[in-house]
Structure 1
Amino acid sequence: MPTLPWTVPNPPPPATEVHVFASRFETRTLWGALKFLVRTPGVWRQLRGARGAYGASLRAEPLRRTFWTLSAWESPQALKDFARSGTHAPTAHGLAAQMRDAKFASWPASSDDLPVSWAEVRRRLR
């Protein structure tokens, strides 16, 4: 699973400010990377029905034990509601011990600029 393509659960209105969120996770072991991969489909299904989700993608580098996420939301609250509910909440909690490092970034953007490039994501997570 190298990259899950940009998926749009709810098309955003044109020329609207959105909340972009990016993350980079590095697992301690390859076993941790495998656990991350196994749990990804459940979170992805939750995302597809998430209120306020305007788009998301995942880039996986399992042999490097690194995973990148990119998502766009109606608001920071919509992102919080997603993260604290459904499959995501227990998955994040269950994987916490597997993580060696995690970085997060968020910023406002125009819906017209979605999806944000992976180069921009990497720049913001440096």
Structure 2
Amino acid sequence: MPTLPWTTPTTPPQGAEAHVFASRFETRTLWGAFKFLLRTPGVWRQVSRAPGAYGATLKAEPLKRTFWTLSAWESPAALKTFARSGPHGPTARILAAEMKDATFASWTVPGDRLPPDWTEAVRRLT
């Protein structure tokens, strides 16, 4: 799967701050990576409609069993609501047992500086 392009469900208001969230997941097995890929479309649709979502992208390296996400939100609360609801909530619980490693990072940027840079996300995750 190639990198999913940055999608912008909601444009930040002028002068708004964006809460950026990045993650890196490594599954234990290729079967776990396949399960991750199978659930990606549902979560991706959820992001595209999520209240408070300013944008998101995903890089998948299934043969390396590694997945990267990068998203921006109007607030940490909007991200938390997203993470616990819709397809994402049960998907995260189901896939937890498949994970070998998970790393997370968050920071803020001015809304007019979106989308965030992958280079910065990878630096913060490693």
Which TM-score tier does this pair reach, normalised by the shorter chain? Answer: over 0.9
Aligned counterparts of 1:51 and 1:3: Cα–Cα separation in 2: 23
- Give CA-to-partner distance per residue, 1:88-115, whole Å, 9 cap, x none: 0000000000000000000111111111
Moved over 6 A (4+): none
CA deviation digits over 1:27-86, x for unaligned, max 9? 000110000000000001111110000000000010100000000000000000000001
Q: Following the alignment from structure 2 to structure 1, what is the Cα–Cα distance between the partners of residues 63 and 116?
A: 25
Aligned length: 126
Please name the residue that 2:115 is paired with: 115
Q: CA deviation at 1:13?
A: 1.4
Matched, 1:60 2:60: yes
1:72 is the counterpart of 2:106: no
The whole-number CA distance in structure 1 between the counterparts of 2:15 and 2:3 is: 27
Cα distance in 1 for residues equivalent to 2:4 and 2:54: 15
Aligned mates of 1:102, 1:58 — CA distance in 2: 15
Residue 22 (1) aligns with residue 13 (2): no
- Partners of 2:103 and 2:14 lie apart in 1 by 29
Cα distance in structure 2, aligned partners of 1:57 and 1:12: 16
Cα drift, residue 14 of structure 1: 2.8
User: Quick one: which amino acid aligns to residue 120 of structure 1?
Assistant: E
Tell me the equivalent position of 1:35.
35
How far, CA to CA, are the matches of 1:87 and 1:102 in structure 2?
Answer: 19
Q: In the TM superposition, what is the alpha-carbon distance from 1:15 to its structure 2 partner?
A: 3.0
Q: Specify the SS of the correspondent of 2:97.
A: helix
Could you tell me how far apart the structure 2 residues matched to 1:20 and 1:107 are? 5
Tell me how far apart the structure 2 counterparts of residues 10 and 109 of structure 1 sit (CA, whole Å): 16
Compute the TM-score of the two structures, normalised by the length of structure 1.
0.98
5+ residue gaps, structure 1? none
